[in-house]
A and B are shown apart, each in its own frame.
Chain A
Amino acid sequence: MTIVAEFKIDYRQILDPKGQLVAPLPRFAEDLDEVVKMYAAMTRVRVFDTKAVNLQRTGQLGTYAPSLGHEATHVGIGAAMRPEDVLAPVYREFGTQLWRGVTMTEILTYWGGDERGNDFAGPRGDFPWCVPIATQTLHAAGAAMAFKVRREPRCALAYIGDGGTSEGAFYEALNLAGARTLPVVFVIVNNGWAISVPVAAQTATKTLAQKAVAAGIPGVQVDGNDVFAVRAVVSEALETARRGGGPCLIETLTYRLSDHTTADDASRYRSEAEVKEAWTVEPMIRIREYLYKAGVWNDAEEHALLQDCARQVDAAVNEYLHGVKPSTDAMFDHLFAALPPHLVEQRATARKYASKPSGH
């Protein structure tokens, strides 16, 4: 017998759940101001998330997919990307989007049922939220193809969930990216659950990172609750891709501490003990501990940060709630570059029967 292929999957962690360094400090983390900035971004998205769920519960927001527990993965990736790179998100990656300049008001506007929320003032090239599972991975591969053809030193980064790795589009994207050496990074956020279906029911593989093997691209697993490790691994992958070294598949291990969305009730299918256990390794504690021990953070700073986040979130919510209702015309105005005549007629009908403007 001859072995014709072998593979291994590395697991990366830098900060353990107690905030202890278990690997060399990456360069970016030597700058404690930068670490504080990342911690502040994680805190802000958690405060925002809590508020968004409350808005949904009080009938002021549509169905919302909380990002609770994903803060290290989302902020680590945001910090690793360059502004000129392109993000293809799923529907939960608010930490990355906020870092890249999407506003909280835009997030609320979209999840409040209004397409104007997709018209980001910030990262103009980023893709909007993507609800049809795994489809975005091919968009990222396509954007990367455009960068390659146009010889631009830019990368695309696509998110996907653990459940999404069961879709054909995911494998097609990996395959294409590998075959064409595209500057794209795929990140599987493995939070354990695809609504009610656990990872073990999606696949028999030990890791999701090893899905890379069949595409001939590197795969690596990261502690997704460790913002240092996530940023370090994603930065390396992006820089390799940018230099023409091809794509990478990264699996970040984290946990969905919330329900799948506000329309879900996770208590129907998973145990309280499991969730309780996950809270002991969640991403905020370790980075906060690290900052306290480094002597750059204290209770007063923490209090001030929380107040500042609450103020920012309140301002965004206020702007969202007082925004004007979208015009009935909006469903026609952006359908084509120029509206065909039959739709001009239909638009007149829509105007005639439009419901009265209403609040949320």
Chain B
Amino acid sequence: MAHGWEMQHDDSVVVIGQDVGANGGVFRATAGLQSRFGADRVQDTPLAEATIAGMSVGMATHGLKPVAEIQFMGFMYPALDQIVNHMTRMRNRTRGRLSCPVVIRTPHGGGIHAPEHHSESTETLLCHIPGIRVVCPSSPARAYGLLLAAIRDPDPVMFLEPVRLYRAMRQEVSDDGQALPLDRCFILRQGCDVTIVTWGAMTLETLRAFAELEAQGISAEVIDLATLSPIDSETILTSVAKTGRLVIVHEAARNVGVGAEIAALVAEHGLFDLHAPIQRVTGFDTIMPLFRLEHDYIPSVQRIVDAVQFTLAD
């Protein structure tokens, strides 16, 4: 829907990727776009991720705004050479002469019984790259508003779409062309006892944990990080100053995860606000298992509740 709005209102926006045309994308995200806007503006690419990213650099530096789809995050890696060495550096190395207004959309995370390499959360790899935004919406409405913002942004954006939300959540979204701000967190629930920062599909478990905690008389403030890089430190620090406790929840592996960056941020700027050690509830530092074990990998509601209770223990 956001694609459609922006293509209607900006002739330079083009959609490229594998199976985005007649097939409408494997998750149907580009359904109907080719018949509406034609095969020049909605192009199936050959089966080659380096092609998709490299071609995007060429298109974006010469008047188009590619919204590229990488079919699954696990297939992104051939594209990384182009992303790391060219897409994110073009503005800097040409001192602003050329730039890359590209959006790369890709499914993110597990939980839908998908095959191998279809369920990973490797956002950390992307967040470490200078010169690119990394965005991960947590609802259809935020996906709409943030995707519009990403397409309108003059710099490259990685747009990670949690697959569990494709399946789990239906929501009426008004197609009004209203973008949401990038580089800002969203406060999903207000609270005063503990701050829980999460993003993507883990907002599902976190909001369930919020309800359980509420029933126990614990007031949690739930923050959807939304833009994983750069991080909106102000919203997080303000919240931690109020609650004095921080739990970070993410599906990705723990080691050098985005949670570690948030913890470091609070340690540097909000240490004396804390009443308890920061807790991280994350995926394990293992390979995302095939689907019979994936629910043993993805953090459970109980793990979040227990971590919150740990921060509240005397």
Contacts and interface: CB of A to CB of B under 8 A. Distances in A.
21 contacts: A63-B113, A91-B115, A112-B292, A113-B113, A114-B293, A131-B117, A132-B117, A167-B49, A167-B78, A195-B18, A195-B26, A197-B46, A263-B26, A264-B26, A330-B289, A331-B289, A332-B286, A342-B255, A346-B284, A350-B297, A355-B296
A197 B296 CA distance: 36
Contacts of B168: none
A129 B77 CA distance: 18
A20 interface: no
Contacts of B255: 342
B282 to A, nearest CB: 9
Contact of B296 (A166, A328, A342): A328
A335 B48 contact: no
A129 B285 CA distance: 23
Nearest to B23: A196
A168 B287 contact: no
A262 B284 CA distance: 30
A335 B286 contact: yes
A89 interface: no
Given A113-B113, A268-B22, A353-B303, A335 B287 contact: yes
A336 B87 CA distance: 35
- B26, B74, B289, B296 — which one has the most chain A CB atoms within 10 A of its CB? B296
A201 interface: yes
Nearest to B115: A63
Contacts of A131: 74, 115-118
A343 interface: yes
Interface in A28-82: 62-63
Interface in B62-119: 74-75, 77-78, 113-118
Which 10 pairs across A and B sit closest by C-beta, in order of nearness?
A196-B23, A113-B291, A166-B46, A163-B47, A113-B292, A269-B22, A166-B48, A113-B290, A331-B286, A331-B289
B58 interface: no
A115 interface: yes
A129 B19 CA distance: 22
B78 A346 contact: no
B289 A350 contact: no
B219 interface: no
Contacts of A129: 116
Contact of A325 (B19, B118, B292, B294): B292
Given A62-B114, A113-B113, A132-B75, A331 B44 contact: no
Contacts of B49: 167
A298 interface: no
Contact of A343 (B286, B292, B293): B286
Main secondary structure of the interface of B (DSSP, over half): loop
A332 B284 contact: yes
A168 B50 contact: yes
Contacts of A296: none
B202 to A, nearest CB: 15
Contact of A132 (B21, B23, B26, B74): B74
Contact of B292 (A114, A164, A197, A269): A114
Nearest to A63: B115
A274 B117 CA distance: 32
Interface string A189-217: 00000111100011100000000000000
A120 interface: no
A255 interface: no
A163 B297 CA distance: 32
A110 interface: yes
Contacts of B75: 132-133
A147 interface: no
A197 B18 contact: yes
A133 B47 CA distance: 8
A110 B292 CA distance: 10
B24 interface: yes
Most buried by A among B44, B47, B285: B47
B300 interface: yes
Interface in B272-306: 284-287, 289-297, 300, 302-303
A111 B47 contact: no
B47 A114 contact: no
A213 B74 CA distance: 31
A25 interface: no
B235 interface: no
B51 interface: yes
A191 to B, nearest CB: 13
B46 A202 contact: yes
B28 to A, nearest CB: 10
Contacts of A194: 18, 47
B205 to A, nearest CB: 12
